[in-house]
Structure 1
Amino acid sequence: MDLLDMIRDAGVIGAGGAGFPTHAKLTSKAEYILLNGAECEPLLRVDQQLMVQCADEIIMGLAAAGRYIEARKAIIGIKGKHKEVIAHMRARIAAQGLESYLEVMELRDIYPAGDEQVLVHELTRRIVPETSIPLKVGCVVINAETALNVFNAMSGKPVTETYITVAGDIPQRLTVKVPVGLPIRELFNQCGIDNLEDYAVIDGGPMMGSILKTLDGHVTKKSKGYVLLKKDHFLMRKKSVNLDQARVISKTACEQCRMCTDLCPRYLLGHNLQPHKVMRALNYNLEDVKEQQIALLCCECNACELFSCPANLHPRSINRYFKGKLAEQGIKYQPTTMEFQPREARDYRLIPTKRLIARIGLTEFDKPAPLTNVNFQPHYLTIALRQHIGAPAIPVVAAGEQVQAGQMIGKIPDNSLGASVHASLAGTVREITDNAIVIKVG
């Protein structure tokens, strides 16, 4: 069995939040393999701690993936402020005799340093074309936990656990290893909160994450963090604005100052994304949405909406609105060039992370979330059949069947993009729905 088969069978997906099946990402050859250790979302602490605790495994997983795609160089991008992490990773690379293949490069402390296209430019000076992927410029990008899961797959260990930071306005901020399928309420019980009624929860980072509509959900393989804040916090109120409300607010108040465009990370890379023009189209009730194709270039990093706009409007939401309109009419963006240069002012318009954290009201919560050993003992697990980009997994077990930890319970559909899923703890299959497999533990 070659490495790709091992990764496929282990159900490895992008652990940074996107969930793209890793075996599909490694089917093409590339000049560089890049490890995303930026972890640019405020308050999240997984990757920086994993690169200390599991440095050897991450390095070996990255090197194996890089050699499989015949990359001539593997580069690990870590923010320069994490000096201890950088020193430790360099020491472990040297200890394994991999200095000629692996290199650690320091990233600036900006948002969004972990955006794939920003990362590619910061580490290689190349620019991914509009609507394209890093492979177009000879790069494949994986994150630190994904590299760890690649290493585990090499020894036959499937993805049954994920690392999660729980942060925010809580007594105990922590990072923990969690069995996939765990009820998220059991995770929050570790944070010293007796009553969750006053809180809202962001699934993911505070910039790109969305507010959970219910706290009855379950951890998936791509869960990365949860941020708990009081419901009246600025960030929660801003994220609670729905699309219709965002349209009304933005239509009545946009002053066309261009700040959303001038600080847009993709615009600064030379792309044609100009949110102020999309906002203008909304103001003028333009019926021909074909002219708003530039909205499709938005990666929804939320810099425009949560940092740039001086009027506290919703450019990201308006981009999303026009994306929906364009999709309804089957209109796709058509690039006019494949060669890009960064804007001359880019270096002066990058968003410092500390200023961003202050802007969204999180400075007092920007504290360590130490990696903590917690022995979770849930009564039930609910393992989603679609925890990834692509088709949902097909159950290969039946209700009433006994399963062991690590056993495959859902496989990739034939001729489809997808990822297999596995039981994270031993137990009995209690129910199989269209979306999940429920296991009674023990």
Structure 2
Amino acid sequence: MDLLNIVKEAGVIGAGGAGFPTHAKLTSKAEYILLNGAECEPLLRVDQQLMEMFPDQIIKGMEAAGKYVEARKAIIGIKGKHKKVIVLMRERIAALGLSNYMEVMELRDIYPAGDEQVLVHELTQRIVPEVSIPLKVGCVVINSETALNIWNALEGKPVTETYITVAGDIPQRLTLKVPVGTAIRDVIAQCGVKNLDDYAVIDGGPMMGSVMNNIDGYVTKKSKGYVLLKKDHFLIRKKTVSLERARVIGKTACEQCRMCTDLCPRYLLGHNMQPHKVMRALSYNLEDVKEQQIAQLCCECNACELYSCPVNLHPRSVNSLYKQKLAEQGIKYQPVQMDFQARSSREYRLIPSKRLIIKIGLTAFDKPAPLTQVEFRPKTIRIALRQHIGAAAIPTVAVGEKVKAGQLIGKIPDGSLGATVHASCNGTVKEIKDNSILIKVGS
């Protein structure tokens, strides 16, 4: 069986983002394979710790993927501040005899260094066209945990666990290896907070993650972090403003300073993303939203909303509002060019991570979250059948059936983009509904 099918059967997906099925990235040829070790979201600590603990496996997983797509060069991008990890990875690349094929490049400590299109430019000086993907400029991008999962797949191990940082205004910040399907409450319970009534939880990083309406959900393959903050923290108050409220505030208070545009990472790469123009459109109550197609270029990094705007308005939310309207009318952005140049001002408008952390009020919580061994013993697990971009997996088990850890319980629908799903614990299937499988753990 070739690597593509091994990865496909193991259910490997993008572990640090939207969950794009990795086997689909291996279907084309590329000039470069890039490993995204930036982890630019404040407070999250997974990638650098995995590279420190499993350097050989990550390097070999990346090498296998790179050779499969016939990439002539493999580049690992790590922020320069992670000096220990950089030294280790370079040593192991040399020890494995891969120095002529693979190298580590140091990234600047900016936000969002981990955005795929920013990463491609920082590592190769190429610019991904609007509404396109890195493959368009000869690049395939995977992240550290995905490379580790590729290696595990080669060893016959499907994806049944994920690594998660629990951080924020809590007594104990830590990173954990968690079985997929574990209750989020059980993960958060490890942080030392006795009473969650005063807290809100952000699912993901503090910039792009969303505040959870409740924490009664379950861990998926792409879960990367939970950030706990008091409900009155600036970040929680800002993130819980409704789209309608954001629209009203923007309509009445935007002064058209265009800072949201001038610091937008996609605009600085030469794209036509101009949030200030989308904000301006609010004032005109336009029924025809075709002119606001640029909203679809927004990568939702939240730099405009949480850093750039001097009066704390909501450009990202307004972009999302127009995205919805455009989708309802079936309108898609049509690029007018394919070749882009980074704007000359880009070098002077990059967002330093430390300054961003100060701006969003997280400096006191920007501390290590060491990888900690915790044995989870859940009574039940709930495995989502759609943990990825694409169609939900189709159950391959029935209620009452006994399953073993690593067993296939959901397959990809024929002719669809998707990912397989596996049991993370031994147990008995108790329920199949709401695109998920509930398993009672134990014999």
Which category of TM-score, normalised to the shorter sequence, fits these structures? Answer: over 0.9
Shift of 1:425: 0.6
Over the aligned positions, Cα root-mean-square deviation in angstroms equals 0.5
1:17/1:204 contact within 8 Å kept: no
Residue ranges of structure 1 left out of the alignment (5+ in a row): none
- State the partner residue of 1:413: 413
Q: Distance in 2 between matches of 1:207 and 1:362?
A: 11
Show CA shifts across 1:381-422 (max 9, x none): 000000000000000001111100000000000110000000
Cα distance in 2 for residues equivalent to 1:314 and 1:126: 30
Q: Residue 66 of structure 1 aligns with which residue?
A: 66
Match of 1:162 in 2: 162
What's the offset of the Cα at 1:189?
1.1
Q: CA deviation at 1:18?
A: 1.0
Q: How does 1:366-405 map to 2 (within 5 A)?
A: 366-405=366-405
* CA distance in structure 1 between the aligned counterparts of 2:72 and 2:431, rounded to whole angstroms: 47
What residue is the counterpart of 1:144 in the other structure?
Answer: 144
Structure 1: 4+ residue segments shifted above 4 A: none
The corresponding residue for 2:284 is 284
Structure 2 portions without partners, runs of 5+: none
CA distance in 1, matches of 2:330, 2:386: 25
Q: Secondary structure at the match of 1:197?
A: helix
- Equivalent residue for 2:423? 423
The corresponding residue for 1:257 is 257
- Partner AA of 2:371 in structure 1: L
Residue 434 of structure 1, CA deviation: 3.2
**Alpha-carbon distance between aligned partners in 2 of 1:155 and 1:369, rounded to the nearest angstrom:** 29
CA offset digits 1:247-301 (Å, max 9, x no partner): 0111110000000000000000000000000000011222221001100000000
TM-score by length of 2: 0.99
Counterpart check, 1:298 vs 2:298: yes
Query: Given residue 219 of structure 1, which amino acid in structure 2 is its aligned partner?
Result: V
Is 1:216 matched with 2:216?
yes
Question: What is the rounded CA distance, in whole Å, between the counterparts of 2:273 and 2:283 in structure 1?
Answer: 18
Which residue does the alignment assign to 2:41? 41
What do the CA deviations read for 1:144-178 (whole angstroms, capped 9, x no partner)? 00000000001110000000000000000000100
1:5-404 correspondence runs (5 A):
5-404=5-404
Q: Distance in 2 between matches of 1:326 and 1:398?
A: 41
Give the AA of the match of 1:264: C
CA distance in 2, matches of 1:200, 1:213: 9
Name the CA distance, whole Å, in 2 between partners of 1:7 and 1:126.
28
Deviation string for 1:71-103 (max 9, x for gaps)?
Answer: 000000000000001000001101100000110
SS at match of 1:432: strand
Per the alignment, in what secondary structure is the counterpart of residue 29 of structure 2? coil
Work out whether residues 274 and 294 of structure 1, in 8 Å CA contact, stay in contact via their aligned partners in 2.
Answer: yes
Provide the rounded CA distance (Å) in 2 between the counterparts of 1:58 and 1:9.
19
Equivalent position SS for 1:280: helix
Amino acid aligned to 1:186: D
The alpha carbon displacement at 1:17 in A equals: 2.2
AA aligned to 1:390 is G
Does the 8 A contact of 1:404 with 1:426 survive in 2?
yes
Code of the residue aligned with 1:404 in structure 2: it is: K
Stretch deviating more after TM superposition (430-439 or 378-387): 430-439
- Give the secondary-structure state (helix, strand or coil) at the position aligned to 1:164: strand
SS in 2 for 1:373: coil
Could you tell me how far apart the structure 1 residues matched to 2:97 and 2:440 are?
46
Distance in 1 separating the partners of 2:344 and 2:189: 49
Partner of 1:318: helix, strand, or coil?
A: helix
CA distance in 2, matches of 1:295, 1:236: 24
Bigger shift: residues 412-421 or 286-295: 286-295
Overall identity of the aligned pairs, in %: 79
**8 A contact 1:4–1:26 mirrored in 2:** yes
- Report the AA paired with residue 21 of structure 1: P
Counterparts of 2:203 and 2:17, CA distance in 1: 10
- Indicate the SS of the match to 1:217: coil
Amino acid at match of 2:433: T
Aligned-pair CA distance for 1:183? 0.2
Preserved CA contact (<8 Å) 1:269 1:340: yes
Deviation for aligned residue 1:354: 0.2
> Take 2:86 and 2:402, find their aligned partners in 1: how far apart are those partners?
44
Distance 2:257 2:284 in 1: 16
Does the aligned pair in 2 maintain the 1:9–1:420 contact within 8 Å?
A: yes
